[in-house]
C-alpha cells in the first residue's frame, strides 16, 4: 500500500467500531464522567475539562459563551466535533435542518434555536446510546421542534427535497462510502438547499500504518479526505460552488492528544508516537460548503 493510501475498509466492520466508541462516550456522559472531547472518543482519560465542558483542546472554544449557556451540560460533554457548523450554515427562521451524525444533540439544539418555532431540526445517528442521550438533552433544554432519527448517513430516512440545510460536525470522514453520503445529502436537500459541514481533511501525507488502521479510521484520521478529493466528490454528487475552507491545522501537540491510546498496530504504540511528528500539518479542520442547484 502506497504512502497516503487509505485502507480498503469493510463498511459494517467500521460502523461497529464507530458504534462501540461513541456508545462508550455516551455512557460516560450519562454516568456523569467527564468525556474526552474531540472527533474520536477514546477510553476514559484523565484530561481536565475546559469551560465549555470539553476535555480536549482540539474542541475547546468551538462554541461561543452565549451558545454554551443555552445547552444542557450533557450536550456539551458529548460534543465530539471539530467546528461549529451551525454558525457556518447561517440558519434562518423557518428553515428545516438535518444534522448528520448528531451525537448528543448539541448542534441540533443550537440549530433549533436559530430556526425558531416555525422551523425544525432533525438529528440522525446510528448509536442507540447517543440517541437516548440526545433525547434527554432535548427534554432538558425544553426544545420541542426537534426529532432524533436512527439510521446511517449513507441511507438518510427522510423524503426527497425535504431539507433546507444539512450540517454535520466531524462525522462524514467516518463513513466508508462518502460518495453515498453526499448523494443522499443531495437527494434530501431542496433545490437551492445548502450543505454546510465541518470535517477533518488531509493536507499532506499520513504515515502508512495510520492509513491502514481501522482504529485510526474510527478515530477520524484515516478516513479523512484530501481537500481536492472532497471538492471532486461534491461535484460528482451534483452540488455546485463547493468550497473547502481550512479553519485549523493540527500540530504535534494536538495529534499527540488526539491519538493517545487510540491507534495501535500491535507493536506497542508506535503509530501513536509516530503520528505527531509525521502527521503535523497533514490534518486540519475545515468548513465544507456546497449548494444544490435550483434547477
Averaged pLDDT, 102-129: 94
DSSP string, the chain: --TTPPP---HHHHHHHHHHHHHHHHHHHHTTPPPP-SSS--S---PPP-TTS-S-TTTTTSS-HHHHHTS-HHHHHT---SS-HHHHHT--TT-EEEEET-TTSHHHHHHHHHH-TTSEEEEEES-HHHHHHHHHHHHHHT--SEEEEESBTTB--S-TT-EEEEEEES-GGG-S-HHHHHHHHHHHEEEEEEEEEEEEEESS---HHHHT-HHHHHTTSTTPEEHHHHHHHHHHHT-EEEEEEEEEE--HHHHHHHHTTT---SSTTHHHHHHHHHSTTTEEEEEEEEE----
Residue 3 pLDDT exceeds 90: no
Residue 135 pLDDT exceeds 90: yes
Over its C-alpha atoms, the chain yields an Rg (Å, rounded) of 18
The reported pLDDT for the residue numbered 11 is: 75
The reported pLDDT for the residue numbered 46 is: 32
pLDDT tens readout for residues 56-114: 444 556 766 777 777 777 677 766 677 788 878 889 999 999 999 998 999 999 999 99
* CA atoms 14, 198, 200, 245: torsion sign: positive
CATH architecture of the domain with range 11-35+64-204+219-249+283-291? 3-Layer(aba) Sandwich (3.40)
Beta carbons within 10 angstroms of residue 191's beta carbon: 10
* Separation between Cα atoms, residue 97 and residue 80, nearest integer Å: 19
The full set of domain ranges for the chain reads 11-35+64-204+219-249+283-291
The reported pLDDT for the residue numbered 252 is: 64
131: Cα within 13 Å, side-chain hemisphere: 15
User: How confident is residue 219, by pLDDT bands cut at 50, 70 and 90?
Assistant: low
Mean of the per-residue pLDDT values of the chain: 78
* Separation between Cα atoms, residue 136 and residue 130, nearest integer Å: 10
The reported pLDDT for the residue numbered 50 is: 38
User: How confident is residue 146, by pLDDT bands cut at 50, 70 and 90?
Assistant: very high
Alpha carbon 243 to its chain's center: 18
* Separation between Cα atoms, residue 117 and residue 246, nearest integer Å: 33
Least Cα distance to 56 among 260, 294, 291, 276 occurs for 260
The reported pLDDT for the residue numbered 78 is: 65
Amino acid at each position: 500500500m502506497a504512502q497516503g493510501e487509505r485502507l480498503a475498509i469493510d463498511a459494517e466492520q467500521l460502523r461497529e467500531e464507530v458504534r462501540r466508541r461513541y456508545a462508550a462516550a455516551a455512557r460516560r456522559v450519562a454516568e456523569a464522567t467527564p468525556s474526552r472531547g474531540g472527533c474520536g472518543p477514546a477510553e476514559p482519560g484523565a484530561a481536565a475539562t475546559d469551560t465549555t465542558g470539553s476535555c480536549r483542546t482540539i474542541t475547546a472554544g468551538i462554541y461561543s459563551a452565549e451558545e454554551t449557556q443555552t445547552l444542557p451540560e450533557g450536550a456539551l460533554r458529548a460534543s465530539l466535533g471539530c467546528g461549529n457548523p451551525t454558525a457556518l450554515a447561517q440558519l434562518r427562521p423557518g428553515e428545516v435542518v438535518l444534522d448528520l451524525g448528531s451525537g448528543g444533540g448539541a448542534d441540533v439544539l443550537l440549530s433549533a434555536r436559530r430556526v425558531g418555532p416555525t422551523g425544525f431540526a432533525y438529528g440522525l445517528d446510528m448509536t442507540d446510546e447517543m440517541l437516548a442521550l440526545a433525547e434527554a438533552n432535548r427534554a432538558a433544554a425544553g426544545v420541542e421542534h426537534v426529532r432524533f432519527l436512527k439510521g446511517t448517513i449513507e441511507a438518510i430516512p427522510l423524503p426527497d427535497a425535504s431539507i433546507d440545510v444539512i450540517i454535520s460536525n466531524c462525522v462524514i470522514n467516518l463513513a466508508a462510502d462518502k460518495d453515498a453520503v453526499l448523494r443522499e445529502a443531495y437527494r434530501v436537500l431542496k433545490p437551492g438547499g445548502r450543505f454546510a459541514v465541518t470535517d477533518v481533511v488531509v493536507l499532506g501525507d499520513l504515515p502508512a500504518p495510520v492509513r491502514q488502521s481501522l482504529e485510526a479510521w474510527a478515530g477520524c484520521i484515516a478516513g479523512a479526505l484530501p481537500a481536492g478529493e472532497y471538492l471532486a466528490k461534491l461535484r460528482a454528487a451534483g452540488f455546485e460552488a463547493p468550497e473547502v475552507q481550512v479553519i485549523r491545522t493540527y500540530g504535534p501537540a494536538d495529534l499527540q492528544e488526539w491519538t493517545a491510546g487510540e491507534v495501535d498496530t500491535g507493536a506497542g504504540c508506535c503509530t501513536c508516537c509516530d503520528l505527531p511528528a509525521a502527521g503535523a500539518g497533514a490534518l486540519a479542520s475545515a468548513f465544507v460548503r456546497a449548494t444544490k442547484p435550483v434547477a
